[in-house]
A and B are shown apart, each in its own frame.
Chain A
Amino acid sequence: KQEVTQIPAALSVPEGENLVLNCSFTDSAIYNLQWFRQDPGKGLTSLLLIQSSQREQTSGRLNASLDKSSGRSTLYIAASQPGDSATYLCAATQGGSEKLVFGKGTKLTVNP
């Protein structure tokens, strides 16, 4: 059974800092791994999807990496801004299926 863990649970940084959010998963037989952003009381905004065959994906100031062998993914945010403040969720497909298993998220606060 897939389990997804995100560390840290919360992170507070000054504006402009580069930061890394970590995600680990127990079952490496994934189809893909997705990173989402969730604002308080809102739904999910998809940020990046990394297919099983890929090592990384980039979108603007965001870069996500995937290392299936070690069961890890990282989300790198460059030059953080107060508008980046949100909870970031990592989700991996459950081995051999398309069902997504979510981590508990990292709550990011970027201080002006």
Chain B
Amino acid sequence: GAVVSQHPSRVICKSGTSVKIECRSLDFQATTMFWYRQFPKQSLMLMATSNEGSKATYEQGVEKDKFLINHASLTLSTLTVTSAHPEDSSFYICSVRGVAGEYEQYFGPGTRLTVT
């Protein structure tokens, strides 16, 4: 399966600032990546689908202007949380879609965001 990394693993930022999280597919050309978030003691919720070279598709209730996604290459997708607030504090995880037709997803190690 694909090896996926995320950077940073942890970040603390002040309210009102923006934070960028990177998701890299290290050994696989990923045309599609997914971004999830997980609040404490909750399950993962899909935020958006990131397609290389085109605009991301956001799930209902996720503000596209607040969570900016850029998938400029086959190995990198970035999620920028703009004007972060304490309620944005969460665990953000990306995944890479594997071989087309198999629909298996390979997950990164996650990024813990804390907004103070």
Interface residues of A (CB under 8 A from B): 31-32, 34, 36, 41-44, 46, 49, 51, 89, 91, 93, 98-105
Question: A109 to chain B: closest CB distance in Å?
Answer: 15
User: Which one of A36, A42, A104 contacts B42 once the chains associate, using CB atoms below 8 Å?
Assistant: A104
In the bound complex, CA of A20 to CA of B40 (Å): 25
Q: Which residue of B lies closest to A90 (CB)?
A: B43
Is there an interface contact between A43 and B105, defined as CB atoms closer than 8 Å?
no
Is there an interface contact between B103 and A93, defined as CB atoms closer than 8 Å?
yes
Secondary structure class of chain B's binding surface, majority of residues: strand
Is there an interface contact between B43 and A104, defined as CB atoms closer than 8 Å?
yes
How many residues from B make CB contacts under 8 Å with A?
Answer: 24
Known: A43-B93, A89-B44. A31 touches B109 (CB 8 A): no
Is there an interface contact between B93 and A31, defined as CB atoms closer than 8 Å?
no
Is there an interface contact between B43 and A46, defined as CB atoms closer than 8 Å?
no
Secondary structure class of chain A's binding surface, majority of residues: strand
Question: B98 to chain A: closest CB distance in Å?
Answer: 10
Is there an interface contact between B110 and A42, defined as CB atoms closer than 8 Å?
yes
Q: Which residue of A lies closest to B104 (CB)?
A: A49
Report B-chain residues with C-beta under 8 Å of the C-beta of A100.
34, 44, 46, 95, 105
